[in-house]
Structure 1
Amino acid sequence: MSSYLTIIISFFYLGILGILLNRLHLLSILLCFELLLISLFIWICNTLFKTFNNLILSNNLILLTLSACEASAGLSLMVALSRTHNSDLVSSMNILQQ
């Protein structure tokens, strides 16, 4: 197994571990999701470059664009929730309370 693949797998598991352990603030959860998306993006790019499939390389730009849109949507939701609940704590954002 190459060193790049080991690093990508460790980043992916680090993101999952961060989501499971750091569920206090919404921003930390969003950052862990970004780490998951970036590790998947690097893995897809690495796989496509190894197979020399140049026709599908444009899909990487689509994936990168979608991850940027996901990040902006997550941050806008975090701002809206922190304004309504006066906190970014996940425990204070129970939807069933309202």
Structure 2
Amino acid sequence: MTPVQFSFNTAFTLGLMGVAFHRAHLLSALLCLEGMMLSLYVGLSLWPMQLESTTYMTTPLLLLAFSACEAGAGLALMVATSRTHGTDHLQNLNLLQC
């Protein structure tokens, strides 16, 4: 495993551990998800360069578009829950209610 691959794997694992262990606020969970998506984006951007292929160059752009949609939807949900519940603590949210 090259040092570049190790650093991307470490960044993704740190984001995953942040989602798993630091679930106090919705904003911190969204930031950890964005860190995971950023490490995937950079990894998928460098992968075609290592293979010297141009057929996979659109994959990072699709991932970037999906991560932008995910960030927008996550922030909209955070604003909606903070307006209705008054906080963004994940313990105070009952996800089974509408």
SS at match of 1:91: coil
Q: TM-score, normalised by structure 1?
A: 0.92
Q: Which runs of 4+ in 1 moved over 3 A?
A: none
Confirm whether residue 31 of structure 1 aligns to residue 19 of structure 2.
Answer: no
Q: Flag structure 2 segments of 5+ consecutive residues without an equivalent.
A: none
CA 84–44 in structure 1, closer or farther in 2 if over 3 Å, else same: same
Shift of 1:63: 1.2
More helix by share: 1
Shift of 1:35: 0.8
User: Counterparts in 2 of 1:1-98, with a 5 A limit?
Assistant: 1-96=1-96
Q: Flag structure 1 segments of 5+ consecutive residues without an equivalent.
A: none
SS at match of 2:55: coil
Number of aligned residues:
98
Amino acid at match of 1:27: L
Q: TM-score, normalised by structure 2?
A: 0.92
SS at match of 1:95: coil
Amino acid at match of 1:25: H
Query: Sequence identity of aligned pairs in percent?
Result: 40
User: Within 2, Cα distance between the matches of 1:96 and 1:77?
Assistant: 15
